[in-house]
Amino acid sequence: MPGSNCTRATEFSLVGFTEDPATQVAQFLLFLFTYLVTIVGNLGMIALIRVSPLLHSPMYYFLGNLAFVNLCTSTIIIPRMLAGVLLGEKGITYAGCMAQVFILGLFLITECFLLATMAYDRYVAVCHPLLYPLVMSPEHCSRLVTGSYLLGLTNGVGQTIGMFSLFFCSSSTIDLFFCDISLLISLSTSNTTLSLIILRTASSLLGVPSILVVLVSYVAIISTVLSISSAEGKRKAFSTCASHLTTISTFYGALIFMYLIHRPHTSRGGDKWAAVLYTVVTPMLNPLIYSLRNQEVKEAWRR
């Protein structure tokens, strides 16, 4: 019976990575550097896309929104983690934990669909260039981005509602550096059926279709590129695809590992590093991989 042997939690304890002081200093500096690069890279990309006429196209419109989402995902996690390491404070309030669940649920699904939209954009540009102005009109692009945010909002609200039905003891400890919904469900002392159904359903109905759009789009792109007669043209196209697929694989691979592969609570040792990939590494790398290798972006910076 929930609550019979413990008091209801008003805060949680975030374990983080290590208790060793020397390692914590190195960890603090590493994550601080990563966060600063993330801030500068994504804010710089958003500002550049807004002020440069060269970048007023659908691809960069999507990229600007992706940079905003990456910025929000990192900001809800890394500053709190850095403050915890610096001050030695591991506690996070119940309200703060639920806020992290909601915001992460919102922006992770939004990023999934933005990545799918960007893959579709490249598919139309490479495979159907004559239809591109019609298919990727400003109105259509705006609807695609709005839909991505609405699906993310639906996921965030659904996950948060599922969490409010759970009971936690006051001694609940989360073996991670932020409030992850799958770990919270495993820590609950009440019936978790509803929360698990919401988590699995949202992961399957929202995450899997976006993955399929990315895969189908890039299969079609690669098939079209293979038909190019110029060896230099093939090399450039494959180089661009490889860069995009690297960051997409990192992001989706980590999410699949965290939320779609069922594992017992005692076998979740890799969760921390998977979480680092999609909450820390990918937001830092996205502006570099998607943009700084692009000639149009380099030209916009020079101007």
Per-residue CA distances from 159 to 53, 105, 166 (Å): 40, 7, 12
74 falls in which pLDDT band (50, 70, 90)? very high
Could you give the 3-state DSSP secondary structure of residue 293? coil
3: left (phi over 0), alpha (psi -120 to 50) or beta: left
Q: Where are the domains of the chain?
A: 11-302
Query: Mean of the pLDDT values across residues 12-20?
Result: 79
In this prediction, residues 187-196 reach a mean pLDDT of 80
Q: How would you label 116-148 residue by residue, b for 16+ Cβ within 10 Å and e otherwise?
A: bbbbbbbbbbbeeeeebeebbeeeebeebbeeb
Q: Which comes out higher in pLDDT, residue 149 or 299? A: 149
What are the pLDDT digits (tens) for 282-299?
A: 898 888 876 666 667 777
In CATH, what class is 11-302? mainly alpha
- Asked whether 241 and 218 are in contact (CB, 8 A), the reply is yes
- Take residue 90 and report the two structure tokens written for it: 């591991």
Q: Is 269 strand, coil or helix? A: coil
The pLDDT, as a whole number, for residue 126 is 84
